[in-house]
Amino acid sequence: MVEEWQPEFIVEAKVDGVRQDLMAYIVKNSQKIDSNIPIFFGHVLSIIDNSLPHLDDKIYDRLIDDITVKVLEESSKSNDVEYIERLFNHAYRLKRRPGGKMIFDIILGLKMIEIGKYRDAIEQLKPFRKVDAIIYTTIAYCYHILATETYTGETGPERGKTSDMALNAREQMIELARVRPPVNRLKFPRVIKELKVNKIFWFMLKLGIEWFPEEPQFLIIGLEKAKLDGNQVMRGELLTIASERYYNEMSFLRELYSYKIGERDATGAAAVIKQMIQHHAKDLEPVYYGLQLSIISQQPTAYARFRKMAVANGMPIRILMLLDFSFSLVKGSKEEAVAGLEIIRARMAKTNHYLILIEYLTEDAFSEDEKRAKHARSVLMDSIDKYCLKLIAMKK
């Protein structure tokens, strides 16, 4: 029998409903679940099979992750490593996709940190260092904490080994910069509201920047994570450091310009462009950003000045025509925009497939429906920006 297709949003709504019901059950019956984990997971499996038949394996496994971590959060035995291992082993047996145990092993390592078992956490997390940058910083954090301990016992080293632990922490951070594992590859269960591991990441990254001030990789890794997380505060902090230490590096200047544009700081963006031109006078990219900022801020005098500079530097005519069109679009001049399109059509016949898209969106960009017009202008500007930057990259 062929299964009935359902829109993705309907499936998500059903999964969320089952998730919420199970979460509520876990909160009310935590002790009961702890006393017989296999029966609980049998109950979970039955509910999923009945309520969500033919559920995608990836979604199914994520749901199992959420439920398992919720059980751990509510349990009175959440600091008992043996209990955690038993819980995770039962959950893993329910998962469908290979490799599903890794996230449980990593969460166990993080739990060991929470209860002060730093040495055990190091051994638990070491096999997963190259999976995600966050694991390197977490292991380095364990070494750092052990290095700061001044007493003996289960959670601290002997006094004489403190310097070794400090060295190990630094070695983990240097290896992070050298290996450059993926950022945000790990997808933690949804029920973890605020990951302490993120706080650990930023704490250790700042230490890495302090320990090794001439290593730019820490800034690169941090900027990537800040952008993926939507963490504008950390992005701003890192870019401030980068602009001071690597004031002539185009990669950091590019990031800083993007940040200023996102923050609607036209003055700051203009200052970055000036800095770019000072250090990369013959490059087309800084001049392009000057044209772009002039369009965004609707400054015809600045646009004319940068356009003259662009022509002198050999900016491809296709880019200039598209930017002229963009300026007309932003000004709201339909007559100018249509005239610009006619010129573009005559000079860019080989890119007819792209021109069709531009023409279609241009009609919407001047729609009487302001919401529709705003969306069309945004899509057009983003599309032209990506196209122009690709052309500039090809010129390098």
What are the pLDDT digits (tens) for 325-349? Answer: 999 999 999 999 999 888 888 887 7
- At 8, the amino acid letter reads E
* Helices 334-347 and 352-365, axial angle in degrees (round to 10): 180
d(CA 148, CA 137): 16
Please tell me the predicted confidence (pLDDT) of residue 162: 52
CA distance 63 to 48: 9
Residue 225 has pLDDT above 50, yes or no: yes
Alpha-carbon torsion (252, 258, 264, 268), positive or negative: positive
Asked if residue 383 belongs to a domain, the reply is: yes
What pLDDT does residue 352 have?
Answer: 72
Q: Quick check: is 395 in a domain?
A: yes
Name residues whose C-beta falls within 8 Å of residue 287's C-beta, 6 or more positions apart in sequence: 277, 306, 309, 310, 313, 315
Does any domain span residue 236? no
- Integer CA distances (angstroms), 164 to 27, 129, 160, 207, in order: 44, 20, 8, 17
pLDDT at residue 113 in the model: 94
Say if residue 324's pLDDT is above 80.
yes
Query: pLDDT digits over 79-132, tens only?
Result: 999 999 999 999 999 999 887 899 999 999 999 999 999 999 999 999 999 999
Angstrom distance (rounded) from CA 284 to CA 314: 8
Structural domains of the chain, count: 1
Domain range for residue 350?
316-396
Q: Kindly state the helix (H) or strand (E) to which residue 275 belongs, with its residue range.
A: helix 266-279
Residue 10's pLDDT is 77
Q: In 3-state terms, what secondary structure has residue 68?
A: helix
For the chain, give the mean pLDDT: 90
In a domain, 248, yes or no: no
Asked whether residue 160 is assigned to any structural domain, the reply reads: no
Of 143, 136, 141, 124, which Cα lies nearest the Cα of 182? 136
In a domain? residue 346: yes
- E strands of 270-336, at which residues? none
Cα separation, 25 vs 105, whole angstroms: 25
With 0-12 CB in 10 A as exposed, 13-18 as middle and 19+ as buried, what is 228?
A: exposed
Residue 384 lies in a domain: yes
* pLDDT computed for residue 2 by the predictor: 46
Q: Is residue 320 part of a domain?
A: yes
Half-sphere exposure of 70 (CA within 13 A, CB side): 24
The lowest-confidence range among 47-56, 166-175, 216-225, 235-244 is 47-56
